[in-house]
């Protein structure tokens, strides 16, 4: 277990938990739990004229999926089969939603494009929008967050890529920490961040388009592992366009260069891969289902559902 303690930087008890999750994920794949053929659930959403999905979020129960369509300036609420349930944005201007996050079955947080604000809209009040937070200017740099997600520590994480940082805010919308990201090449540095994903309560996965494709960081920004460290035979210069983490803590990364989804265990070892679905151009947003699968939004305007049959 010493190698995991060294690479992950955790206590032996936490390392044991990581080991168990890693073993469970590997056993699922070795036992034949390969990904089922992805389902294109876009046709059911086409009635909503979805054109440019840029962000996706699953409700806490897993019953609903929110999709931000930046071109039509709306947020579509779908069931997990892609059927349209509701639309936000027909009765008010959402400011072209760049990022969204469902906090409950009826509430969606959103970040308008090129905005410093975090706003809230509710299905019960579709004509109203509340501003919860204006991110402060930090060290003279104007924030423009491009992603928002929840973490199990009851915080919200905001990726502020233009300002090279990740900002954590609490439930009262107070800034509690700022992780500054160093520009450059190599481990612990970043050049063009595509997305981030929470990995448990204590780590983050960062997908990069122009540096190392995937890195695992502690919540204070320390480098812990590079995705794919167990496969030195594979090139590490591929472009990552999206990242997500499923309920098994398996990390999914879209490899745009080789047109495949790569799967990694919680310690960063590659454990599988799957070719892009037919018609997929460039995955730009991913979010895990509640049953070990993954929703993938593509730049083509399509929405796909990947499932792990034996992980139910």
- Whether the per-residue pLDDT at 276 is higher than 80: the answer is yes
Q: What is the pLDDT of residue 249?
A: 93
* Of 105, 28, 92, the residue nearest 61 (C-alpha): 105
pTM: 0.87
| Residue in the structure block whose two tokens are 């997908």 | 207
Q: What is the pLDDT of residue 309?
A: 67
- Whether the per-residue pLDDT at 100 is higher than 50: the answer is yes
Q: Look at 9-13, 116-120, 164-168, 232-236 and tell me which has the smallest mean pLDDT.
A: 9-13
- Whether the per-residue pLDDT at 17 is higher than 70: the answer is no
pLDDT-derived band of residue 35, with 50, 70 and 90 as boundaries?
confident
CA distance 144 to 158: 10
Q: What is the mean pLDDT of the chain?
A: 86
CA distance 247 to 268: 16
- Whether the per-residue pLDDT at 113 is higher than 80: the answer is yes
Range 182-185, long-range pairs (CB < 8 A, 24+ positions): 184/211, 185/211
CA distance 36 to 41: 14
Which phi and psi (to 5°) does residue 187 adopt? -65, 140
Q: What is the CA radius of gyration of the chain?
A: 19
Element (H, E) at 74: strand 74-79
Average pLDDT, integer, range 111-132: 95
Average pLDDT, integer, range 92-114: 95
Structural domains in the chain plus CATH codes = 2-311 (2.120.10.30)
Q: What is the pLDDT of residue 211?
A: 92
**CB-based contact 62:80 (threshold 8 Å):** yes
User: Per the structure block, which two tokens stand in for 284?
Assistant: 């730009």
- For residue range 196-226, what is the model confidence (pLDDT) as tens digits? 999 998 999 999 999 999 999 999 999 999 9
CA distance 261 to 37: 12
SS3 content of the chain, % helix, strand, coil (to 5): 10, 45, 40
Helix and strand numbers (H, E) in the chain are: 3, 26
Annotate 176-223 with DSSP letters as a single string. EEEEE-EESSSTTEESSEEEEEEETTTEEEEEESSS-SEEEEETTS-E
**CB-based contact 256:275 (threshold 8 Å):** no
* Of 244, 236, 234, 226, the residue nearest 285 (C-alpha): 244
């Amino acid at each position: 277990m010493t190698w995991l303690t060294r690479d992950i930087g955790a206590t032996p008890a936490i390392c044991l938990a990581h080991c168990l999750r890693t073993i469970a994920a590997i056993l699922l794949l070795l036992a034949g739990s390969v990904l089922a053929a992805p389902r294109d659930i876009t046709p059911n959403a086409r009635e909503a004229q979805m054109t440019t999905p840029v962000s996706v979020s699953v409700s806490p129960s897993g019953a609903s999926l929110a999709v931000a369509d930046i071109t039509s300036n709306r947020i579509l609420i779908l069931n997990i089969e892609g059927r349209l349930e509701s639309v936000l944005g027909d009765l008010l201007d959402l400011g072209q939603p760049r990022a969204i996050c469902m906090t409950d079955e009826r509430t969606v947080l959103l970040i308008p494009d090129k905005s410093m604000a975090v706003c809230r809209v509710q299905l019960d009040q579709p004509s109203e929008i509340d501003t919860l937070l204006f991110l402060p200017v930090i060290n003279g740099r104007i924030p423009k967050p491009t992603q928002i997600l929840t973490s199990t520590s009851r915080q919200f994480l905001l990726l502020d890529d233009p300002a090279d940082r990740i900002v954590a805010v609490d439930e009262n919308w107070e800034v509690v920490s700022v992780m500054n990201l160093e520009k450059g090449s190599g481990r612990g540095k970043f050049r063009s961040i595509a997305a981030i994903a929470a990995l448990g309560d204590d780590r983050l996965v960062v997908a990069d388009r122009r540096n190392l494709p995937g890195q695992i960081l502690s919540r204070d920004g320390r480098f812990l592992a590079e995705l794919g460290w167990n496969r030195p035979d594979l090139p590490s210069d591929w472009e990552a366009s999206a990242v997500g983490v499923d309920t098994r803590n398996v990390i999914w990364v879209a490899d745009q260069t080789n047109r495949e989804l790569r799967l990694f265990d919680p310690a960063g070892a590659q454990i599988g891969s799957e070719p892009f679905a037919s018609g997929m151009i460039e995955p730009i947003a991913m979010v895990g289902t509640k049953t070990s699968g993954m929703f993938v939004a593509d730049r083509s305007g399509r929405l796909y559902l990947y499932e792990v049959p034996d992980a139910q």
